């Protein structure tokens, strides 16, 4: 049986200091979310806010960010070396 994910608000995640380097402020992470919304939703670590309901993230949110950045770096490297 899976343990339910523990969600916190995005603001609480930022305020706790758990933000990945380069994502210490809400405007920075909101930009990343806009660009990578689909991948974050697919990761299961992100539930977008709507209306008065705030955006929620799990403890794995930072890992999801790192995986997205790593994948982008690999794709960039591959395109740079492709003939």
Annotated domain spans of the chain: 8-81
Query: Over its length of 83 residues, how does the chain's per-residue pLDDT go in tens digits?
Result: 455 568 999 999 888 887 667 778 888 999 999 999 999 999 999 999 999 999 999 989 999 999 999 999 998 887 777 66
Q: State residue 67's pLDDT score.
A: 93
Spatial contact of 13 and 57, defined as CB atoms under 8 Å apart: yes
Q: State residue 43's pLDDT score.
A: 94
Q: State residue 51's pLDDT score.
A: 92
CA–CA gap between residue 74 and residue 80 (Å, rounded): 10
Q: State residue 3's pLDDT score.
A: 53
- Taking the whole predicted model, whether its pTM rises above 0.85 is answered as no
H helices within the chain, ranges in order? 10-15, 26-43, 61-81
């Amino acid at each position: 049986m899976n343990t339910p994910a523990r969600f916190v608000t995005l603001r609480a995640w930022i305020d706790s200091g758990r933000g990945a380097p380069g994502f210490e402020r809400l405007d920075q992470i909101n930009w990343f979310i806009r660009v990578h919304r689909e991948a974050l939703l697919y990761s299961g670590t992100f539930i977008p806010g709507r209306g008065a309901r705030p955006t929620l993230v799990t403890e794995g949110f930072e890992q999801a960010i790192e995986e997205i950045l790593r994948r982008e770096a690999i794709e960039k490297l591959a395109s740079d070396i492709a003939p």
